[in-house]
Amino acid sequence: MPREHDIPYARYRAGVGIDATERPSAEPNCRTAAPATAADAGRTIGYLRGEWDVQRQISDRRSGQEGVFRGTAWFRPAAVGQVPASGQVPASGQVLEYAEDGELGFGSHRGPARRRLIFCDRPDGAADVRFADGREFYLLDLRANIWQAEHPCRADRYRVTVTRLSPDSFTEIWLVAGPGKDYQLQTTYRRSEAAGAAGVTGAAGVSGVSGRPGGAQ
Encode 38-69: b = buried (16+ Cβ within 10 Å), e = exposed.
eebeebbbbbbbbbbbbebebebeeeebebeb
Q: How far is CA 105 from CA 17, 112, 145, in A?
A: 16, 9, 30
Query: Which stretches does DSSP call E strand in 13-94?
Result: 18-19, 50-60, 65-77
The lowest-confidence range among 17-26, 47-56, 84-93, 192-201 is 17-26
Q: Note the pLDDT tens digit of each residue in 141-197.
A: 998 889 999 887 777 888 999 999 999 999 999 998 888 788 899 999 999 975 555
**Residue 26: closest CA among 86, 72, 80:** 80
Indicate the pLDDT class of residue 29, thresholds 50, 70 and 90.
very low
What pLDDT, on a 0 to 100 scale, did the predictor assign at position 26?
Answer: 36
For the domain spanning 3-197, the CATH number is 2.40.128.20
Question: What's the DSSP call for residue 209?
Answer: B
The three-state secondary structure class of 87 is: coil
Query: pTM of the full predicted structure?
Result: 0.72
Domain boundaries, the chain: 3-197
The average pLDDT across 60-80 equals 89
Q: Note the pLDDT tens digit of each residue in 75-115.
A: 999 876 534 334 454 444 689 999 999 999 988 889 999 99
pLDDT more than 70, % of the chain: 64
pLDDT more than 90, % of the chain: 41
Q: What sections of the chain are H helices per DSSP?
A: 7-16, 44-48, 193-197
